Amino acid sequence: MPKIDFSSYTDLLFEPDEKVLNVIFNRPDKKNPVSGQMSLDLIRLFRELAHDNEFRAVVVTGAGTAFSAGGDLAVMKATLERPESFLDAITEVRDLVHSMIDCPKPIIAKVNGPAIGLGATVALYCDMIFAAEEAKIADPHISLGLVPGDGGAIIWPLLIGLPRAKQYLLTGDSLTGAEAAQIGLINRAVPRAELDKVVRDFARHVAEGPPRIMQLTKISLNVALKREVSALLDTSFAWEVVAAYSKDHREAVMAWLEKRKPHFTGD
């Protein structure tokens, strides 16, 4: 198999570490929003990794102080004038979720800072999630007048149960990494100063396993997840597209940009 051409990627940085590939979201000026080119880069990367023989584990993290702040509000504002364009962004996210589930390599999230909205979704669809104790994790779709159609409405209940998922998805409230670990949303939270070493040691440990058997085990473990995603993701996306046409969504985006409290009317 030909090696992955890292130079062909725009919004990702790569740091190979023996059999572990460290993937870094590289838009720190905007807190690494997973949209546009970065989303396309991730989809292509996870598909390429499925055919790669060099790496046995993958670590994803963010450059700078954030893991990923989610979607790009500038893009969201542009969709207010052309709500139909929202469908293109939704399709990219759909492909991203499926590419992560279908990638046979173990994917480990290193949540070094805020993981918000789509950023939280990407973290939670990783196979294992480690976070700094104070890192903020949240899915505030509802605060933007949107349904968590990017897969959040599926993965949160699977990880922490329906009542707790409703608590966070119907309020948009955040958790710290320590709180997320306590309720089982993520695997482990550690002091920020220890995060790099803890994840490096764990990723190397994973990479020492029998690669083909590990891949088959991940495929087996993901059968139920894949079934849920296949059954529910398109429905969640459809409701998010409906919400994108609402006046409450427009009000939420404008209020966010204008740094004021939104006034929701139910329209």
CA distance between the termini of the chain: 53
Enter the tokens of residue 267.
């329209």
Is residue 144 scored above 80 in pLDDT?
Answer: yes
What pLDDT shows up at residue 84? 67
Q: How many CA atoms lie within 13 A of 24 on its CB side?
A: 14
Q: Which residues pair with 108 in a beta bridge?
A: 59, 128
pLDDT tens profile 94-117: 999 999 999 999 999 999 999 999
Higher pLDDT, 83 or 267: 267
Q: What is the mean pLDDT of the chain?
A: 92
Higher pLDDT, 217 or 72: 217
Cβ atoms of 123 and 69 within 8 Å: the answer is: no
pLDDT tens profile 164-223: 999 999 999 999 999 999 999 999 999 999 999 999 999 999 999 999 999 999 999 999
Report percent pLDDT > 90 for the chain: 78
3-state helix, strand, coil in the chain (%, to 5): 55, 15, 30
Give the closest residue to 100 by CA, choosing from 67, 58, 55.
Answer: 58
Is residue 1 scored above 70 in pLDDT?
Answer: no
C-alpha 158 chain-centroid distance: 15
Q: Which domains does the chain have, with CATH numbers?
A: 6-212 (3.90.226.10)
Gap between the Cα atoms of 7 and 90, Å rounded: 27
